[in-house]
Amino acid sequence: MSTAADTIDFTAEWQAWHDAHEKNRADPHGFLAVTSLNWLDETPTRYPDAPGEWSTSAAGPVVTLSDGERIVVDGRTIAGSPDRVTYEFGVIPERGGVTVISGDAELEVARRGGADIVRPRHPSHPTRVEYAGTPVYPANRSWVAEGTFRAFDAPKPVTVGSVAEGLEHVYDSPGVIEFELGGESLSLTAFNGPTPGALFVLFTDATSGVTTYAANRSLQIDAPDASGRVTVDFNRATNLPCAYTEFATCPLPPAENRLPIGIEAGEKTPLRPTAAPHGDAR
């Protein structure tokens, strides 16, 4: 049985995590600083928030810089000239990317859904400067479930949609997490997390589109122990970048991760949601 001191410690630990998460979200070059989402093709194109002319081909993205334009890639400065200078990024793997520095901005050159993109991030962007924080449900232990990770015999590719119309993402799923919450037996298809053995899930629930962001929420889960046990703490459910910016390509949850109950825990709909639900996708 938990004591008052346990509750205080639980709440304090959650608050520290939430504060750090908010600080990271408002980073000068985080997603709140994104000013556009540009899909590259073979036609050299100039964008108002990035130097150079951008295009791509089977050999990967390239940028051509005119006199007075410069970028920094991996610590190397590439400067334009009267004769123009072209920099080749090479083939970028799916969900991979390169960070390019341009003055006080950063340009994300990446590959999403089989297409190459350039996504500038400017610290002065109003979405970041005017960010007012994300409302949350109070931390509550009742939204912590002990579950079991059931590994597949081999990872299964799972295709999911995207908030960007016409785009799809494919993730390898190592297995399913089974748990009980509110007297119901539930399960979530899991994907590989950011560290070896860790997992993450994308989900919606009965609060989605009511008090929480309609498209998705995400939850990181520590690696299972030797018996496959995991802790599913919905107090740490977070919004993905698409809840804050129209210039995102966030994945949607697989159909089986639409929970039938209301998860009144974690992050709610942002205070200043964007007006447009989708990025400039094709």
pLDDT higher at 67 or 282: 67
In this predicted structure, the answer to whether residue 279 has a pLDDT above a threshold of 50 is no
Per-residue pLDDT at 8: 82
Per-residue pLDDT at 255: 96
Half-sphere exposure of 56 (CA within 13 A, CB side): 19
What does the pLDDT look like over 151-208, one tens digit per residue? 999 999 999 999 998 899 999 999 999 999 989 999 999 999 999 999 999 999 999 9
pTM of the model: 0.87
Per-residue pLDDT at 4: 62
In this predicted structure, the answer to whether residue 42 has a pLDDT above a threshold of 90 is yes
Mean pLDDT across the chain: 93
